[in-house]
Amino acid sequence: MRRRLAAGNWKMNGTAASLSEMDALIEAHLSPSVEILLCPPATLIAAMASRKGQHPLAVGGQDCHAAASGAHTGDLSAQQFKDAGATFVLVGHSERRTDHRETDDVVAGKARAAHAAGLVAVICLGETLAEREAGQTLDVVGRQLDNSVPDGATGLNTVVAYEPVWAIGTGLTPTSEQIGEVHEFMRSRLSARFGADGAYFRLLYGGSVKPSNATEIFAIPDVDGALVGGASLKAADFSPIVTALEQAADMDLP
């Protein structure tokens, strides 16, 4: 059975004072029945990892370089994230693909680096509104999945996050049918490529997930959790999403 995962991406938000939000989240979920991941800005990784103590909350980076070390001013390697206490790293977020022109090849290189460092890569992908309106969603998602997920990926070292670009930070969400269609498609594509292991990749939905829509989204087959942006910044918003995921997990077959 895939362990359900509630992931928060703080993006370029948060200072040391924001760590109190993690404290409140931990307090609300002292022994969570789902996996909880927070991806704060890199400046807070080490502090978050040491402050969480024995709590099973996982800490992740938001991006890493494809190289292990070297002359790359301003970049951080997967090994450095691991050293700071991270166990996950996001790669291929649409904001990276847009702001930094990251291609699927670049994203696959970053995922390989994450795997080499022993981190779980959360590989993000999703179509733009123009692509959806042109009926190209599954083509785009299929191409990104094939080319951003590197050989060597397994259900243990890789999570795939479907984040339609038009749903990120907009308050718009696809219908449950639209999310379900893409997740089912990704599952079958991973199974065709990775065989039986394809069933073990966790598939997250991301894009305007809120306490008010979480329960409906978590009931969709092959949605194993969420990658949450804005609503992960405050424990008061993220905690009900984690609770909704715990309730969905309770209904999973053993």
Ligand X SMILES: O=C(CO)COP(=O)(O)O
Smallest separation (angstroms) from ligand X to the CB of 239: 15
Closest CA to 127 of 83, 194, 60, 181: 181
- How many other CB atoms are there within 10 angstroms of residue 82's CB atom? 18
Active-site pick, 93, 95, 102, 127: 93
Smallest separation (angstroms) from ligand X to the CB of 156: 22
Q: Is 71 exposed, middle or buried (0-12, 13-18, 19+ CB in 10 A)?
A: exposed
Pairwise CA distance, residues 68 & 63, whole Å: 13
- Per DSSP, 245 falls in state H
Q: Phi/psi of residue 147, each to 5°?
A: -95, -20
- How many other CB atoms are there within 10 angstroms of residue 172's CB atom? 12
Chain-centroid distance of CA 170 in Å reads 18
Task: Give the H or E element holding residue 203.
Answer: strand 202-206
Cβ proximity to ligand X, 123 vs 231, nearer residue: 231
Smallest separation (angstroms) from ligand X to the CB of 111: 16
Query: Is position 102 annotated as part of the catalytic site?
Result: no
Cβ proximity to ligand X, 93 vs 202, nearer residue: 93
Smallest separation (angstroms) from ligand X to the CB of 229: 2
3-state class of 58 per DSSP?
A: strand
3-state class of 89 per DSSP?
A: strand
Pairwise CA distance, residues 172 & 193, whole Å: 32
Query: Is position 93 annotated as part of the catalytic site?
Result: yes
Query: Using CB under 6 A as the criterion, which residues of the chain lie in contact with ligand X when the complex forms?
Result: 9, 93, 163, 168-169, 206-209, 227-231
Smallest separation (angstroms) from ligand X to the CB of 88: 12
Closest CA to 163 of 227, 73, 90: 227
Which residue numbers are catalytic?
Answer: 93, 163
